[in-house]
Amino acid sequence: MEDQQVYTQVIELQGHIIDSMILPQIMDEAIDRGGDFVVEEFQIGRRKAETSYVRLELRAPSPELLDRLVRHARRLGAIVPEAEQVVTKPAPADGVFPEGFYSTTNLETYVRLNGGWTHVEDPEMDLGIVVDYAAGAARTVAISDVKAGDRIAVGHQGVKVIPLERSREQKEAFGFMGSAVSSEKPKATLIREVASQMRAIKSQGGKTLVVAGPAVTHTGAAPLMVKLIEAGYVQYLFAGNALATHDIEAAFYGTSLGISLEQGTQIEGGHQHHIRAINRIRAAGGIRQAVKQGLLTKGIMHACVTHGVDYVLAGSIRDDGPLPDVITDVIESQRRMRAVIHQGVDLALMISTMLHSIAVGNLLPAKVTTVCVDINPAVATKLADRGSFQAIGVVADAEGFLRHLVTELGL
Amino acid sequence: MEDQQVYTQVIELQGHIIDSMILPQIMDEAIDRGGDFVVEEFQIGRRKAETSYVRLELRAPSPELLDRLVRHARRLGAIVPEAEQVVTKPAPADGVFPEGFYSTTNLETYVRLNGGWTHVEDPEMDLGIVVDYAAGAARTVAISDVKAGDRIAVGHQGVKVIPLERSREQKEAFGFMGSAVSSEKPKATLIREVASQMRAIKSQGGKTLVVAGPAVTHTGAAPLMVKLIEAGYVQYLFAGNALATHDIEAAFYGTSLGISLEQGTQIEGGHQHHIRAINRIRAAGGIRQAVKQGLLTKGIMHACVTHGVDYVLAGSIRDDGPLPDVITDVIESQRRMRAVIHQGVDLALMISTMLHSIAVGNLLPAKVTTVCVDINPAVATKLADRGSFQAIGVVADAEGFLRHLVTELGL
Amino acid sequence: MEDQQVYTQVIELQGHIIDSMILPQIMDEAIDRGGDFVVEEFQIGRRKAETSYVRLELRAPSPELLDRLVRHARRLGAIVPEAEQVVTKPAPADGVFPEGFYSTTNLETYVRLNGGWTHVEDPEMDLGIVVDYAAGAARTVAISDVKAGDRIAVGHQGVKVIPLERSREQKEAFGFMGSAVSSEKPKATLIREVASQMRAIKSQGGKTLVVAGPAVTHTGAAPLMVKLIEAGYVQYLFAGNALATHDIEAAFYGTSLGISLEQGTQIEGGHQHHIRAINRIRAAGGIRQAVKQGLLTKGIMHACVTHGVDYVLAGSIRDDGPLPDVITDVIESQRRMRAVIHQGVDLALMISTMLHSIAVGNLLPAKVTTVCVDINPAVATKLADRGSFQAIGVVADAEGFLRHLVTELGL
Amino acid sequence: MEDQQVYTQVIELQGHIIDSMILPQIMDEAIDRGGDFVVEEFQIGRRKAETSYVRLELRAPSPELLDRLVRHARRLGAIVPEAEQVVTKPAPADGVFPEGFYSTTNLETYVRLNGGWTHVEDPEMDLGIVVDYAAGAARTVAISDVKAGDRIAVGHQGVKVIPLERSREQKEAFGFMGSAVSSEKPKATLIREVASQMRAIKSQGGKTLVVAGPAVTHTGAAPLMVKLIEAGYVQYLFAGNALATHDIEAAFYGTSLGISLEQGTQIEGGHQHHIRAINRIRAAGGIRQAVKQGLLTKGIMHACVTHGVDYVLAGSIRDDGPLPDVITDVIESQRRMRAVIHQGVDLALMISTMLHSIAVGNLLPAKVTTVCVDINPAVATKLADRGSFQAIGVVADAEGFLRHLVTELGL
């Protein structure tokens, strides 16, 4: 024991590292995991405008633990003074990363390449980084898209992650952020803020993505969504077969899952409406064709077609039919959603769809403001548990939320 | 076996006993429990306007089972042809019913007295019936209010219960009724119907009772409730210390449970606001006094005082303070709520309060239209499980529901 | 008005049509929808052993309403005395049913063919019926599998549905069935009954299908599931990428979604474990290969491979990876699950997976005993709302349920 | 602007103020609220064993903000170097605190009295502090118990609060603490830890308090609770009329709320069982008398009486009856629960009772390990929102949790 080996690594931190809790977290982690630290140099910002600087030696009894502590610190913005070039290995086969591959976060990331820091394109969590030495470029790559021989980053050497900087204004606006989700908190301010952002995005030519589940139609909120689309507040829609089907069912029969949207009661034979609606669209060749043929004349999907909203309908195993527009291969669906996101999204509004919210949350960069509306508080919690920590939870029913939002937008 | 004793009782049923499912239920129960039945006479209504009549002999291998089957049938409106006088026994002590006492339902009930059927005043579930032979009268009595020597009905002889007749119109309007509560159904029709009933009640001088939990203030919905009160849509308010306290906290400090209603964020020191608010009202002597002294100038409680809404604030063990207006004895609280209900209530609107909803549900006659709004679907289910089968569940957050209702009422 | 046309159709019902509520429902529907009825003949079973018979003329002011009433009555077992041959039309294109196609229920169904009643193979809801005149056979067909020219049943002529007959014993055992789902009811009896059925199925060489979500691994219940598999209580497993991935993550790293199953705490870097686990299995070529290579040595998937459980892993858009065993096309996934179900399933045990529960519920015949376990009462409600009315809801967490079940089975 | 007034206060902090996040929080608060700070002296602990020291000048543009910042810092353990004597004012009337009274937290608190720090007895949130100058003592006092003339602390001068120190071991054991409550996390470790604490408490003569709702009996978990009591693991029970009533109903009739605990089905007439059970106990004079008379022979309440568990049954407005043992005045109930807690409680186990959990949470010092079990994740969230931040949430049904706990304890 007395002769115990110690592994060490010096790291540096610069910035508001105390009031942003970054330094304490690094110290805490070291101690919690059985490591230690020595403060080599410390300059504290005497006033709020001044940044602080610390040079810290992390110490651990094993190289594995040291690695873990360094990785944790780097995730919080620490750099290793003598930055080394990113290390890569070739992918051993199509669809397989080399062992020890660097698994990405959804934060802005850079790799050390040729003495400089190269931005990694398309940040998204749980992917690999493919490095193009010739072009001096790097981008994320999904495991299903990696090709044998691609140079994939391994280890965390030469990889730098930028923690999400949250402006004071944003903190004020979305003060809910990070707090426990509760159905007992006032929502008016939050919805006002969402409306305000949507107006700003619209006026600046930005992009709002709506991710919506079938509860939007079941609760009778489709006309509210149509208003948002018609007023130009929605650029992209990600949904599944269910939303589109029940929306079209409502257009054809006035029901959603066989429940009359006017009466709120089950219609005899109504449980067949959705499958009949699907059949008609299949006969027409698809949603766009049905709109063109004058068959489909209202509803959310109609509004998407007539107002140029780019929609991606992703398949799921509970789908009836499905509609011809639905992408039945889930990996292909991810590719299509990724392609949309890579064009740039400013706000993601997820409404009453746990599956889609988590799926899209996985694909979004952390910097995209993400608002997750569900009557079940567990949805936002799950989203956060799965890495979409930036998501702001709103506990509300789809119809109530959209009604309020539409009013707030003056529609 | 062959020598097996059989106990029998003839019952009669008249009315829409087939399409109202009454006869099938009686038959089903008999068979399920190990009894039997013989149809002695059956006249079916040939058309929908005609009622049916059946005379049925219920058969059981034990007197206990026969008793159970007869009791079940009576609850559904069956009568025993040769109706006997109600049987009573004296209460053995204050606060104690005689063993075998008849336990009431929340349906309209009659007792056979001096050859006629006497209405039992103040229907409420789980009480006893006290018979006043001299006056030829009967009324329900709570166990805590019974006096030694009171003549209390025992057994089910001479007791007749009237099943809830639901008009076709009502069934249409509240088609949700009886169906599983779901957050996925359209609420607009239901809220429109609630609004329509509230308007009708107001125009006919009827009474609407609101039962509200603190989520009404936490979600920022107090101004909406104030609108309802100011427009004359609320005659009674049943709530607890929490609603009143946080409402007054909001009036004094702009927070509810320390959360700023404007910002939606926790205010430093804000968790003390409610206890400071309580202290001020205690110093003033009560809510009415605080309004009179010009100390309390807005909010729900202020509106109640200035618009003559009769409120009952019932205590609970989680109360801080409490406010001087709060009745700290729970049995006394029940007495006060009963006294209000006995004046006549046409609609009970229960918003975001499981405890109070169940408590008031226990006190209400089944004929009172009862709408239970909660973000948790379990609340309406629990209410129904506890006998308030007439309650219509709405899965919504308090603010969203009230916002929609107020809009629907044109306020 | 006085000259109003009336459309009529005589129907017949035979059986326990009163105590099974069938006749009342038909009468009720007629009146509710604005129709009428005349009882032409009625023989009531005088004792429980005797069946009843009724001949009823349904009357409606429009052919559409008459059609609706007849359809409703037929769904409940009514027959039209002069049974006509089933009517078919050719499918106009691959993947499209003819307009007016008969949409199936999940009940046993027969079509009138050549003067007899032909059983429709593979009952499943929301499909079409394809008739093979040459072979005198009929079976259900999914819209995605229909071929141009297939003879598809249209209208409801010559189609007979057998209502689910529930034995008294079953009613006793699963008394919960049909009642509102509640977290407040005793579960011990129900779990004992599930265990008893599983033992009976095992001893008779029957088949139990488990449908499981990743919460089974997240809650640390995988060892309990392994016990069930090892003891021969599970023949089929339907799951997604998530369950298999986190199960393998647990085998490799001792974590599930990065949470240590031993400690219950988040492991630094643990959020990458699942993607690393996926990568290793992709490198090995699949789960079976990983087991064969000695790479995967424990957990649910290992137990499935070593104990011959036939598993179907269906893809979803939230999948990372996915594992090579996952079927990424959702329609192909449905085909694979259908193929398993068509081999015969006696009990379906759905544990903590809303998506999969609804998806599999859609595929199952109503006669399969279906138990749906979830901590969220809404899941069973949704399942029932979507037509899987036979599903018995159990409000419990996955781990608690499986722990209790395993104890009950003496494992 | 240039002439702007600045209010300042020097504070000092000593300890692990960086890795415990205390210093960053103080800095963050100052900046967030529009104040500022100047670090006057800073000695950082170079290694984990060393504590740090900082002297900081808080600066604010208004005395109100300065006061808020100082109060916040003090709550985190900061002291004002030149500590002044606590300030008191007389209570103006019975049941009324002086304006500006110091509102307590549930943390250990000291007041500056005669040059020393005097411990405030019975820490509990939202109370006042009454100072006895003659005895040199201080204790918390509820607003309902304050007497006119009592010397009550006002402002925060001379009041020091000790932040909860959490040992590393405890952090490991209860790693869930502070994290979002989720139904998807492994519970086995947590339950093992609860069992381990219960064993330790028992062997050291400590006290475990169980707070239980009626779901314990409804789910059939009463025999499990009885095992805990019989084995000496429960010293105190706080519950309401419902738990005791349904427990006694189960002892008398085998039902809970009329549901057979053996069959899980509704018993005809069973909804009356609870009121009949209450009546019998009222006739007997109370629970203890019923046990003594041989009337009540099993169940939780019987076990409490026969094993010396000190129980407090607190009334609620939804109570039927109530049982004679129920304290119907809620403020008196609080006094009785406080009296128990002041005897010392080491572990509070709250099972399936939102109302009671929050009520007792309000009364408990923060240092009491508090475990809150509920099937609804919102309960633990609400508890934390209301100040019982130390509560550890377990999302589970009552029966499943107790079954597992009892097994873990080897009972």
Report the residue of D25, D69, D317 to disrupt the B interface, i.e. the one with the largest count of B CBs within 10 Å: D317
> What pLDDT sits at residue D153?
96
Chosen from C26, C66, C129, C279 to mutate, greatest number of chain A CBs within 10 A: C279
CA distances from C111 to B349, B354, C87, C158, C393 (A): 50, 51, 9, 5, 33
Please answer yes or no on whether B400 and A395 come within 8 Å at the CB atom. Answer: no
- Selecting from A92, A320, A354 the residue whose C-beta is nearest the C-beta of C126 gives A320
A31: nearest CA partner in chain D: D48
Q: How many CB pairs under 8 A join C and D?
A: 115
- Chain A positions contacting chain B at CB under 8 Å are 172, 175-176, 179, 183-190, 214-215, 218-220, 256-257, 259, 261-266, 375-376, 395-397, 399-401, 403-404
Q: CB-based contacts of B117: which residues, under 8 Å, 6+ apart? A: B110, B111, B160
- From chain B, the residues in CB contact with D387 under 8 A are 271
Q: Do C187 and D257 touch (CB under 8 A)?
A: no
Among A311-325, B53-67, B154-168, D185-199, where is mean pLDDT lowest? B154-168
pLDDT (tens digit, 9 = 90+) per residue, D142-153?
999 999 999 999
Q: Is D317 left (phi over 0), alpha (psi -120 to 50) or beta?
A: alpha
Q: Is D327 helix (H, G, I), strand (E, B) or coil?
A: strand
Nearest CA in chain C to B50: C38
Going from the C-alpha of D102 to that of each of B268, D112, D128, D159, D364, the distances in angstroms are 14, 14, 6, 9, 18
- Rounded to the nearest angstrom, the minimum Cα separation between C206 and chain D is 26
pLDDT tens per residue across span A325-355: 999 999 999 999 999 999 999 999 999 998 8
CB contact under 8 A, C21 and B20: no
* Gap between the Cα atoms of B315 and A294, Å rounded: 62
Q: Mean pLDDT, to the nearest integer, of B169-186?
A: 50
3-state secondary structure D161-220: EECCCCCHHHHHHCCCCCCCCCCCCCCHHHHHHHHHHHHHHHHCCCCEEEEECCHHHHCC
| A405: closest chain B residue by CA | B400
pLDDT at position A187 is 81
Could you tell me if residue A149 is left (phi over 0), alpha (psi between -120 and 50 degrees) or otherwise beta?
A: left
Cα separation, C82 vs C57, in Å, equals 14
Residues 6+ apart with CB under 8 A from C282: A95, A96, A143, C321, C323, C324
The shortest CB-CB distance from C92 to any of A268, A283, A321 is to A283
Nearest CA of chain B to the CA of C173: how many Å?
Answer: 13
- Structural domains in chain B, CATH included, are 1-81 (3.30.70.2690), 83-163 (2.40.420.10), 168-408 (3.40.50.10690)
Which one of A20, A32, A42 has the shortest CB-CB distance to D44? A42
Mutate to test the interface with C, among A278, A280, A318, A363 (most CBs of C within 10 A): A318
Q: Smallest Cα–Cα separation from C410: which of C235, C214, C264, C198?
A: C198
Binary contact (C264, D396; C-beta < 8 A): no
Give pLDDT tens digits for D193-213.
Answer: 899 999 999 999 999 999 999
Query: What are the chain C neighbours of D181 within 8 Å (beta carbons)?
Result: none
Amino acid at C385: D
Q: Which residues of chain C neighbour A386 with C-beta distances below 8 Å?
A: 257
Pick D263 or A109 by higher pLDDT. A109
Torsion sign, CA atoms C267, C269, C273, C274 = positive
pLDDT (0 to 100) of residue B327: 98
**What mean pLDDT is reported for chain D?**
86
pLDDT in tens, chain C (411 residues): 334 567 778 888 887 777 666 777 788 788 778 787 777 777 766 666 677 788 888 888 877 788 888 888 887 888 777 667 899 999 999 999 999 899 998 989 999 898 888 999 999 999 999 999 999 999 999 999 999 999 999 987 888 887 665 443 444 444 443 444 556 677 888 899 899 999 999 999 999 999 999 999 999 999 999 999 999 999 999 999 999 999 999 999 999 888 888 877 777 677 789 999 999 999 999 999 999 999 999 999 999 999 999 999 999 999 999 999 999 999 999 999 999 999 999 999 999 998 899 999 999 998 899 999 998 877 777 777 767 777 888 888 899 999 999 999 999
Best of D181, D247, D265, D354 to substitute, by most chain C Cβ atoms within 10 angstroms, is D265
The residue of chain D nearest to residue C222, with distances taken between CA atoms, is D186
User: Cβ contacts (< 8 Å) between A397 and chain B: which residues?
Assistant: 183, 187, 375, 395-397, 400
Alpha-carbon torsion B91, B94, B99, B105, what sign? Answer: positive
Of A37, A46, A184, the CB nearest to D39: A46
Question: Can you read off the two tokens belonging to residue C358?
Answer: 């609804």
CA dist list (Å): B246 to B237, B239, B242, B315, D184: 15, 12, 6, 15, 34
Which of A317, A354, A376, A397 to substitute to test the interface with C, most C CBs within 10 Å? A317
Residues 6+ apart with CB under 8 A from B176: A264, A265, B185, B190, B392, B393
Q: Supply the angle between the helices C188-203 and C398-408 in degrees, to the nearest 10.
A: 60
- What is the pairing mode between strands A137-141 and A116-121? parallel
Residues of chain A with pLDDT under 70: 1-5, 19-21, 44-50, 82-83, 163-184, 268, 386
Largest interatomic CA distance in chain C: 84
Tell me which amino acid residue B23 is: L
Q: What is the number of helices (H) and of strands (E) in chain A? A: 14, 18
B355: nearest CB among D315, D316, D385: D316
CA distance A133 to chain B (A): 48
Question: In chain D, whose CA is at the least distance from the CA of B357?
Answer: D318
Q: Which stretch of B199-208, B346-355, C183-192, D318-327 has the lowest confidence by average pLDDT?
A: C183-192
* N-terminal to C-terminal alpha carbon distance within chain A: 72
Q: What's D86-120 look like in SS3?
A: CEEEECCECCECCCCECCCCCCEEEEEECCEEEEE
Tokens matching residue C265: 């705490």
Cβ–Cβ below 8 Å for B381 and C377:
yes
Contact D239, D319 (CB under 8 A): no
Euclidean distance between CA atoms D104 and D101, whole angstroms: 9
- Residues of B113-126 as b/e, b for ≥16 C-beta within 10 angstroms? beeebbebebbbbb
| Interface contacts (A, B; CB < 8 Å) | 116
* CA-based nearest distance C69→chain A, Å: 8
**Residues of B at the C interface (Cβ-Cβ below 8 Å)?**
18-21, 23-24, 27-28, 30-32, 36-39, 42, 44-48, 168, 171, 180-184, 377-378, 381-382, 384-385
pLDDT tens digit string along D7-26? 778 888 887 777 666 777 78
Measured between beta carbons, the chain D residues lying within 8 angstroms of B271 are 126, 387
A19–D18 C-beta distance less than 8 A: no
Between chains, do B331 and D318 touch, taking CB under 8 Å as contact? Answer: no
Gap from D25 CA to chain C (nearest CA, Å): 23
Residue D176 has pLDDT above 60, yes or no: no
pLDDT at C58: 87
Rounded to 5 degrees, φ, ψ at D186 are: -70, 135
Beta strands in C47-127 (DSSP E): 52-60, 87-90, 108-113, 116-121
Instruction: Specify burial of residue A205 (Cβ count, 10 A radius: 0-12, 13-18, 19+).
Output: exposed
Q: Mind telling me how many Å the CA of D46 is from chain A's nearest CA? A: 5
Of C395 and B175, which is predicted with more confidence?
Answer: C395
Do D58 and A68 contact (CB within 8 A), yes or no? no
Q: How near does any CA of chain B get to the CA of C387, in Å?
A: 13
**Interface contact D317-B356, CB threshold 8 A:** yes
Contact criterion met (CB < 8 Å) for D71 and B319: no
Distances (CA, A) of A324 to A187, C15, D86, D101: 38, 44, 76, 69
Does the distance separating the beta carbons of A72 and C318 come in below 8 Å?
Answer: no
Is residue B75 helix, strand or coil? helix
Chain C nearest-CA distance from D10, in A, is: 38
Instruction: Tell me if residue C132 falls in helix, strand or coil.
Output: strand
Q: How far is A278 from chain C (nearest CA, A)?
A: 9
CA distance A55 to A14: 9
> Given this model, what pLDDT does residue B75 score?
79
**Chain D partners of B279 at a C-beta cutoff of 8 Å?**
96-97, 99, 101, 143
For B261, the closest chain A residue by CA position comes to A186
Would you say residue D180 has pLDDT above 50?
no
| Minimum CA–CA partner of C172 in chain B | B32
Q: What's residue C170's pLDDT?
A: 44
Distance of alpha carbon D62 from alpha carbon D215, whole angstroms:
52
